[in-house]
Structure 1
């Protein structure tokens, strides 16, 4: 085997708690809520995931816990964290906890249907995690649409240092994605194949994302939003096919296409979704997880039809349809529940701002005169006078 189950769990943990958490710190005044909220939802969600997933695999009426079930519980929280990205900055922690309970419950039903009824292959979870989480979150975002934000919000944006923090999440996710896609693959050659396919898909994705970003941006410059997100789309898209014998070219082709559609989605599709459909997707999860997740599902259908893996193409198609259907219907229902007035949803003017829920240190400049205004001479003189007084 490539690594111990404990090593794999640690890698997945890094993605869940560091990768997803820091990827969402791009908002200039919402870093506490991004990382802190991510920690709360993941910690709560993995406990609930153990129960909801364990319900389908009872042993003498009890839920047996092992390292692989813990890894699967981490997977269940990933769906919530993806959906979290769609509504980032516009919901309270109470609303997000409600979403966690409902989404993981629906996820467990769909996962059981895909894995045990359809017997479809989705080792890297392009369909059951990424596509499901993205469209669930988009459905919630549509129900929670805020007309007051249609022209934007002053805090719905990044600054230089917040984009750097977000890149920390990108790099950690990119590094550990092969572990994520191979975590539940059969040990040995199949697991190795999942690692290699993911590795190559990610590499090709980076190249295409950089290239397209240069082509579509002003004066051929790179857009940090594209680099933070679209460079990861290859890991999402190759997930379903990760343990299939698609060859290096197949893996790289999937990653290359994923990088293109993700970058174009951020540039052109997200504004259309917001303006025409009322879907205010804060993190652009449709471009990173939604469309690449569908691409992964379609690639899985083709790969199984070509005999790259045992199974039925029709069941792969059913798995994709099931994941999208449960996500959209479940997300709409969850959105209406979250919209109830007693969940402390923040008003429009307080969106994307940590200070409504967190103790935030005030800007030093509001509490004291800047050093350059006081003058170094005054500082040293004050220090000398203090010393004289103590002598």
Structure 2
């Protein structure tokens, strides 16, 4: 069974991590007890000069984004909140360990002793690496098993480390906030996997794909955490000083601009001018994604506002038009709409970064500022801004190619039956994989109530049900009743099955109140006695 696979995978892989860490991982000089000697040798007067004190606040913000922000953002599905938060927790915890190894082999390997030396900056970069996999998870949310997610994370971290090394070290592109390295790669990696795992019969779980009022509120909590901490995300690993300061400012402004644009476009394209919570939860973050590459550049405050303004429009329209188009014509089932939140804004961010780099001048940056911002040093000391712009564009292409190519390859692997993917009618549902306790009672007993009292009770709003004279023992009744008894006329509210909990005679006709999960909708009809 699937539960046996997850036991074996978790135990074996964690054991492998312990062995690999024992062989390869050591503290770096700033986290080792020899720091006191290094401090004296380098004439450092205080422990406050340790990089920990500069980086840890940003690390904590990024860490909250990974485990709370991404986790709660995906709780919008009415029956998949445990899977959204729980599997997010699982793959992030495994991913950060594997990322420390994979990124360490490329960036932190000490060739004198063959060990990977880790510190606070490695922790931040590991979280960045995990972010790419969590973005990919959004495309397949509710459609894959925990084992498939771990396999997807294993390959995703590996591909990310290679792609990051090519872009940042070999091509020498700048990408402070990861518009290309994290968001573009992660989004196209997830979309390609979703395309490979296309489910033609996913409509069997249509009733569970939507949200209810309280699940959208929880998802909005994730949005707010991400929105608040995104300036830290984009500035966490930039150089201390003006670059880090500028990255936070540019992100701060882009995010603010995106919110107003998203609200306007959402209202414009919805019936009666009402706002769609999907747009508010997701598109309001697109500005932070798009400004990532150019965050430390001299984008100027008005430039940041323009980036946020454009992304709010493009991302919201993507949810309105592109997501249904992709599912219908391209066979890409994008559960969270990551194409609109991460893929398109990530590409925009790469383009903005390339243009900003190519147009950089000494009059704006200064001689030293230009060299410091674009790291024109060593092998790249003769690089000019126009060439740097070309390198930025090349890096964007690499990110897309790694995402699409890697996703297709991993998608083929995940199609193998050994991983135990869920059946079509079990998608978007926690019950087959989690102990849910009273969840079954909520799912069945609260789904539909037959109220056969006076007609005025049938017309009562959902929150007034507690005043009905008779409800009966709902749970004991529902166990004896067949699924979806014929009632005419019927208005479906995304119900799993129908329950008749009490019938009181009223001249041959009984008013019926159908209530969906979470009491978000109700409709009234009648049935014969």
TM-score with structure 1 length normalisation?
Answer: 0.93
In structure 2, what is the equivalent of residue 54 of structure 1? Answer: 104
Which structure 2 residues correspond to residues 48-197 of structure 1 after superposition, within 5 A? 48-56=98-106, 57-59=108-110, 60-149=113-202, 153-197=206-250
What is the RMSD computed on CA atoms of the aligned residues?
1.9
1:41 correspondence with 2:91: yes
- Out of 422, 427, 432, the residue aligned to residue 346 of structure 1 is 422
- Out of 272, 281, 288, the residue aligned to residue 334 of structure 2 is 281
In structure 2, what is the equivalent of residue 382 of structure 1? Answer: none
Contact 1:204 1:252 survives alignment (8 Å): yes
Higher deviation after alignment, 55-64 or 287-296: 55-64
Contact 1:150 1:275 survives alignment (8 Å): no
State the shift of 1:153 in Å. Answer: 1.2
In structure 2, what is the equivalent of residue 16 of structure 1? Answer: 66
CA–CA distance in 2 between the matches of 1:64 and 1:58?
7
State the shift of 1:371 in Å. Answer: 7.1
CA–CA distance in 2 between the matches of 1:326 and 1:233?
22
> Unaligned stretches of 5+ in structure 2?
1-50, 362-372, 375-384, 450-464, 471-529
State the shift of 1:361 in Å. Answer: 1.8
CA–CA distance in 1 between the matches of 2:59 and 2:239?
15
CA–CA distance in 2 between the matches of 1:139 and 1:371?
48
1:239 correspondence with 2:239: no
CA–CA distance in 2 between the matches of 1:314 and 1:298?
10
CA distance 1:151–1:92, shift in 2 (3 Å) = closer
Higher deviation after alignment, 213-222 or 358-367: 358-367
In structure 2, what is the equivalent of residue 379 of structure 1? Answer: none
The CA deviation string for residues 228-277 of structure 1, in whole angstroms up to 9 with x for no partner, is 00000000000000000110011110111011100000000000000000
Q: How many residue pairs end up in the alignment?
A: 375
State the shift of 1:4 in Å. Answer: 2.9
CA distance 1:367–1:289, shift in 2 (3 Å) = closer
CA–CA distance in 2 between the matches of 1:374 and 1:355?
32
Task: Determine which structure has more spread, i.e. the larger CA radius of gyration.
Answer: 2
The CA deviation string for residues 181-217 of structure 1, in whole angstroms up to 9 with x for no partner, is 0001111111000000000000000011111001111
CA–CA distance in 2 between the matches of 1:79 and 1:320?
15
CA–CA distance in 1 between the matches of 2:124 and 2:334?
28
1:213 correspondence with 2:289: no
Contact 1:86 1:284 survives alignment (8 Å): yes
CA–CA distance in 2 between the matches of 1:4 and 1:19?
23
CA distance 1:8–1:344, shift in 2 (3 Å) = same
Contact 1:25 1:163 survives alignment (8 Å): yes
- Out of 199, 209, 227, the residue aligned to residue 280 of structure 2 is 227
CA distance 1:269–1:151, shift in 2 (3 Å) = farther
Contact 1:150 1:274 survives alignment (8 Å): no
1:27 correspondence with 2:77: yes
CA distance 1:356–1:109, shift in 2 (3 Å) = same
Higher deviation after alignment, 302-311 or 132-141: 302-311
State the shift of 1:324 in Å. Answer: 0.2
> Unaligned stretches of 5+ in structure 1?
376-391
TM-score with structure 2 length normalisation?
Answer: 0.69
